[in-house]
Amino acid sequence: MRSKTLALLAAGALTLTACGANQATPPASTGGGGATTGSSAAGGVKVGVILPETATSARWEGFDKPMITAAMQAAGLDADVQNAQGDVQKFTTLADGMISQGVKVLVIASINSEVGSAVAAKAKARGIPTIDYDRLNLGGSSDYYVSFDNVKVGELQGKGLADALKDKAGGQVIEIEGAPTDNNATLFYNGQQNVLKPLYEAGTLKLVQSQPIDGWDNQKGGVTFEQILTANGGKVDGVVAANDGLAGAVITVLRKNGLNGKVPVTGQDATPDGLMAVLRGDQYMTVFKPIKQEAEATAKLAAALAKGDTAAADAIAKDSSDDPKGNRKVKSVLLTPQLTTKDSVKTVVGQGYVKATDICTGDLAAACSQLGIS
């Protein structure tokens, strides 16, 4: 089911990028990070982009990759977009390959701050500007960062759960969080607590346990959730899951216990699986992050930096992010996330992120027609 949805997602994404003018075939994967030879048909300035993972969220290959490829091309850049598949060694090898190919800008969505910072330092030593993409490398040296307001993402998750549990006084909550090595996971958590902590303190809701999941590993998230649920005597009223992947794993466990659809679960990324779970009523909400805007801002920044035009780059990156480890502020573009419940799935479809035909299948056809999703 999952792989079928991902295949559909990839197909949808291809259709999406194919709409762009003069869409070139994205460069073939270089596997171990060897150089991609020559320039593409676009013949633009070379930019390297390294994405972190595939398995932690369907967003990276389904949304980010095609949207970055299209945005870079529209900005006159020739992007080599690769995915490190959660392997830090591969991340480094890919970066080395891109640096030696002579990319003019390197865009990094790192697996953790250590590897991201090491890559940024290496690029800097060669005079190649770097942009932290989506995840900020703490203690790093990138001059620019493009992401969403990630505290806000967490606040939307907290708000979603609080809304769903508003009639459940003393409702018991389990929190399944993202990777402790991802600064975003910390920001999501902080945002959630802005909303939920006062409710826990007032006894309106009760926190059973909050558990970060190494590497955003969805499967580990499910196993951990099941252990916490069992230890709590099978009792849970609501679950904070930091993204749709973790939410899916939690829902599988809830289903096994006859609790799916009765216990609200949060999510993030508006992936096809996440949206389908929302339509089915198994997941209360997801957070839609307009990744096309993230990709476009990154491409514009990269185009400015490739020309050495830092004034233009600064005019794009008007926000600021804190790097508490490096004790510095990083010029940023921080975009606005959107809370998405059953009633707003239509918006995500309307913006072309997923196709109605991909999510309105089988048992969901009725829900879709009721909600006017077509």
Binds ligand BGC by CB under 6 A, chosen from 5, 36, 57, 266: 57
Piece in contact with ligand BGC (CB under 6 A), picked from 56-64, 136-144, 162-170, 328-336: 56-64
Looking at the Cβ atoms of 182 and 237, the one nearer to ligand BGC is 182
Q: How many angstroms separate the CA atoms of 155 and 4, rounded?
A: 32
Decide if residue 56 touches ligand BGC (CB under 6 A): yes
Binds ligand BGC by CB under 6 A, chosen from 145, 216, 225, 284: 216
Looking at the Cβ atoms of 44 and 337, the one nearer to ligand BGC is 337
Decide if residue 294 touches ligand BGC (CB under 6 A): no
Binds ligand BGC by CB under 6 A, chosen from 132, 143, 182, 282: 182
**Residue 4 CB coordination number (10 Å):** 11
Min separation Cβ 87 and ligand BGC, Å: 14
Binds ligand BGC by CB under 6 A, chosen from 46, 59, 159, 331: 59
Sign (positive/negative) of CA torsion 25, 31, 274, 336? Answer: negative
Min separation Cβ 40 and ligand BGC, Å: 27
Decide if residue 134 touches ligand BGC (CB under 6 A): yes
- Can you tell me whether residue 129 is helix, strand or coil? coil
| Count of residues of this chain found to bind ligand BGC when the rule CB under 6 A is applied | 13
Q: How many angstroms separate the CA atoms of 298 and 107, rounded?
A: 8
How many Cα neighbours within 13 Å face the side chain of 259? 18
The DSSP bridge pattern shows strands 205-212 and 105-108 to be: unpaired
Q: What is the footprint of ligand BGC within residues 238-277 (CB under 6 A)?
A: 243, 268-269
Distances (CA, A) of 244 to 146, 191, 220, 221, 275: 21, 17, 14, 11, 9
Looking at the Cβ atoms of 92 and 112, the one nearer to ligand BGC is 112
